[in-house]
Structure 1
Amino acid sequence: MSDRAYWPEGVERCSVGKFLAWLGVISIFLAWGGYGAFKVLGTGIGVTGLDNYFGFGLWITFDLAVIALGAGAFFSGFLRYIVRIDELKNVINLAVIVGFLCYSGAMLILVLDIGQPLRAWFGYWHPNVHSMLTEVIFCITCYCTVLIIEYVPIILENRKINQNRFCHHLAHNFHVYMPLFAGIGTFLSFFHQGSLGGMYGVLFGRPFVFREGFFIWPWTFFLFISSAIAAGPGFTMLCAAMMEGITGRKLVSYDTKKLLGKISGLLLCVYIFFKIIDTYAWAKGILPGMGLTFDEMFSSEHGYGKILLWLELFWFGVIPAALLVTPAVRNRPWLMYSAVVMAAIGVTINRFVFTVQALAIPVMPFDRWTTYVPNWAEWSTSLMIVAYGFLVMSISYRYLPIFPQEVKLNK
């Protein structure tokens, strides 16, 4: 049995047997996560490591991290269709799929995290207009819809589907209006990325994350945006490199990868510059103004030592930024890929400390330092979302024309 007729024209894929074996490995994690999701939805979030101290934990950290890394979709679309950087046409389909997987995966995790999924519609029908989370709810939902719209023409370009005249013309018309969707996606993603940071910055009762700002937006609003657009393009490039390693085929030219690395490096420099200034102003201005000290924000004994701050700012911030803006580094694949991985880790640490460490710090006289440890239910469902991403990307790679350079690069 062969499915060659459904492959993109001119490419090679592995046998059906190997492909099914690969999907079998992925299904193990899907099954484990499915069992965890069943326990959470059937029993409640009491089966997780969350409690009255930690309403946010691994799931929200995972959510914020993948949303930041998925920013490569909206920012690559902005650079490709609005700024007109033509070279990015080689990765724009991949960026759309990665963005769709990140955002749809984040929404699936939220179904588990909100506690009562049957009331998920309350946030839409009874919005709290004074909460930044309301803006996040609507913007993420709308942008996920935009990503679906951007994904549809890629599906319609499947070799067999595209033979249908209606599907062929529909895909063409979608592409004609793609700059419009790219603009809408940029607008929506800009605001929800910022509001995720702004949500923390307005919490004056949580001194670890509280920030002053500009007009109604705390500085964390702008820092979350800048960190996302810095990490997103590099993560898209990393996905392409990982797919090349798994499939053994060249999919994207190295010049395109270097361009994405350069974009990430320049934006990471901007982000780290303002992040260091923000951290200094927080330590020397905001904390003393609240009668607190810098040292009181950390506790190595409970796993929230200053090492996390130095890792975020320097080892996974300054160093990858310096590496990615250096042409000699970008000419060495392993160095460039390592720098992008470091940048992604830095953004993930940032989301972790804002989500978990902020809740661990005692803020009332009767409070104490507490430690949060996610259990199997949270890990299994998080890995299920990763497996879901591998599943959709594997099927998309096999049957959809994601990489316009693939045929030429493998001649």
Structure 2
Amino acid sequence: MDRALWPEGVERCSFGKFLLWLGFIGIFLAAGAYEAVMILLPDGLARTALDNYFGFGLWITFDLGVIALGAGAFFTGLLKYILDIKELEKIVNLTVIVGFICYSGAMLVLALDVGQPLRSWFGFWHPNVHSMLTEVMFCISCYLLVLTLEFIPNILENRQLNKIPLLHNIAHNFHYVMPLIAGLGAFLSTFHQGSLGGMYGVLFARPYILRDGFFIWPWTFFLFVLSAVASGPCFSVLVVKLMELITGKELVDFKVKKLMCRIGGTMLALYLFFKFADTWAWATDVLPRSGNTWDQMFNDALGYGEWLLWAELVVCGVIPAILLLTPRFRNNPGLLYTAAILNCTGIVINRYVFTVQALAIPVMPFDQWYSYTPNWAEWGPSIMIIAYGFLILSLSYRYLPVFPQETQLNPISAPAAPAPVEAEEVADVEGEPETA
């Protein structure tokens, strides 16, 4: 029965091995779910390392990180369905699944971070129209709905579900409206990515992230959008590679991976150009006008040193951009995946310093530097979301046609036929005299 649910023409591991794999994932899911349930109790947030000073911590860093890395969904969909880049059809299904995991996981984390998820609807019913977070809340919720709509056709293309005429027709007709859905998703995701950055840029009481802007938008609005579209395609390639290592199969042609990384590298170079300009303008103009100096923004003793800035801009910025944009380096799989890892790491560092370091810096004359270290109550639910992602990817890989190239790259070998007997050998055998 399980074999009948597999995509046409592919091989999967035995059901017993698959159950063992799900059990391994379930250990992390259960451990994180326990902490998540404890967080939802009346005094749950007191279990975390969050306090009145660090209202944002690991969860918001994780949330912003996965949302940026999940941007491969809307950007790849935009390139595939709007700009009609045919090669991306080999990986677009996976980017949608990765985006769905990232955004649904981010929503789960936000439910915990609110502390009272039963009151989460207040923001929709009583929105603060002067807050960028209101726009983020509406856009991220609507974009999760869009990702669900993009995921549905792939689910309905399961071999057994596709035999049902109604579901087959629904999946088929979804493809006609997919460009409209992809365009709507790109619009929603662009604005909520930007508003997340814009929220930081308007915090005039936080000198590390305060920025000037363009009309009503601070520069961080545009930088967050560019950094997301730079890292999203590379993260999708890394997910493919991880699945290939686990399954032992080639799932996407290396040419498609190179194309995705070249797109990511191009956007990374564009992002770095504006990021360096923004950093220079911040250091030479915004900080002095705020009555602050460069040295006041860093504290090596507590781990908030300048090395984080240079790690983000140079080690995880300039170096991967060079590797991804140079054909000789991009053709080397080891360098390609290394550059993709550095690219994604740089974006996570960016979200970390904007979230945590900005809060650690003293802003009043009587203030001092504060340090923040997340505890297990925060790590547990974060690990749960990662395990949740592995679960969705595992079920999708086993039962859905995620990778169109899989049957071409991994042909199923037919049973070996018996070797043909030469005619001369037959004649010799038939002509031999019988012996006692």
TM superposition score normalised by structure 2? 0.93
**Partners in 2 of 1:96 and 1:264 — Cα distance?**
17
Residue 263 of structure 1 corresponds to which residue in structure 2? 263
Residue 58 of structure 1 corresponds to which residue in structure 2? 58
Residue 319 of structure 1 corresponds to which residue in structure 2? 319
- Alignment of 1:277 with 2:243, yes or no, is no
**Partners in 2 of 1:285 and 1:28 — Cα distance?**
51
TM-fit CA distance, 1:56? 0.2
Code of the residue aligned with 1:84 in structure 2: it is D
TM-fit CA distance, 1:116? 1.1
Q: Sequence identity, in percent?
A: 65
Residue 73 of structure 2 corresponds to which residue in structure 1? 73
TM-fit CA distance, 1:255? 0.5
Residue 28 of structure 1 corresponds to which residue in structure 2? 27
TM-fit CA distance, 1:177? 0.5
**Partners in 1 of 2:374 and 2:330 — Cα distance?**
37
TM-fit CA distance, 1:140? 0.2
TM-fit CA distance, 1:273? 1.1
SS in 2 for 1:344: helix
Code of the residue aligned with 2:323 in structure 1: it is L
TM-fit CA distance, 1:290? 1.1
Residue 129 of structure 2 corresponds to which residue in structure 1? 129
**Partners in 2 of 1:329 and 1:231 — Cα distance?**
18
TM superposition score normalised by structure 1? 0.99
**Per-residue CA distance 1:172-202 (angstroms, 9 max, x = gap):** 0111100000000000000000000000000
Code of the residue aligned with 2:305 in structure 1: it is G
Residue 15 of structure 2 corresponds to which residue in structure 1? 16
TM-fit CA distance, 1:209? 0.3
**Partners in 1 of 2:284 and 2:144 — Cα distance?**
40
In the alignment of these two chains, the number of paired residues is 410
**Per-residue CA distance 1:331-367 (angstroms, 9 max, x = gap):** 1111100100000000000000000000000001221
**Partners in 1 of 2:153 and 2:292 — Cα distance?**
54
TM-fit CA distance, 1:164? 0.3
Residue 166 of structure 1 corresponds to which residue in structure 2? 166
**Partners in 2 of 1:226 and 1:38 — Cα distance?**
36
SS in 2 for 1:353: helix
Residue 185 of structure 1 corresponds to which residue in structure 2? 185
Structure 1 segment 8-407 matched on structure 2, within 5 A: 8-42=7-41, 43-407=43-407
Code of the residue aligned with 1:27 in structure 2: it is G
**Partners in 1 of 2:318 and 2:278 — Cα distance?**
15
Residue 423 of structure 2 corresponds to which residue in structure 1? none
**Partners in 1 of 2:362 and 2:44 — Cα distance?**
27
Code of the residue aligned with 2:248 in structure 1: it is G
TM-fit CA distance, 1:36? 0.6
SS in 1 for 2:276: helix
TM-fit CA distance, 1:161? 0.5
SS in 1 for 2:40: helix
**Per-residue CA distance 1:261-283 (angstroms, 9 max, x = gap):** 10011110010111011001100
**Partners in 2 of 1:321 and 1:330 — Cα distance?**
10
**Partners in 2 of 1:47 and 1:289 — Cα distance?**
40
**Partners in 2 of 1:175 and 1:401 — Cα distance?**
15
TM-fit CA distance, 1:168? 0.1
SS in 2 for 1:336: helix
SS in 1 for 2:136: helix
Residue 6 of structure 1 corresponds to which residue in structure 2? 5
**Partners in 1 of 2:323 and 2:335 — Cα distance?**
8
**Partners in 2 of 1:52 and 1:366 — Cα distance?**
16
Listed as ranges, the gaps of 5+ residues in structure 1 are none
**Partners in 1 of 2:303 and 2:233 — Cα distance?**
31
TM-fit CA distance, 1:45? 0.7
**Partners in 2 of 1:290 and 1:144 — Cα distance?**
38
RMSD: 0.6
Code of the residue aligned with 1:328 in structure 2: it is R
TM-fit CA distance, 1:213? 0.8
SS in 1 for 2:230: helix
TM-fit CA distance, 1:303? 1.2
Listed as ranges, the gaps of 5+ residues in structure 2 are 412-436
**Partners in 2 of 1:274 and 1:139 — Cα distance?**
25
**Partners in 2 of 1:273 and 1:14 — Cα distance?**
47
Code of the residue aligned with 1:296 in structure 2: it is Q
Code of the residue aligned with 1:294 in structure 2: it is W
**Per-residue CA distance 1:118-160 (angstroms, 9 max, x = gap):** 1100110000000000000000000000000000110000000
TM-fit CA distance, 1:44? 2.0
TM-fit CA distance, 1:171? 0.3
Runs of 4+ in 1 over 2 A off after TM superposition: none
**Partners in 2 of 1:77 and 1:7 — Cα distance?**
25
Code of the residue aligned with 2:363 in structure 1: it is V
Code of the residue aligned with 2:29 in structure 1: it is L
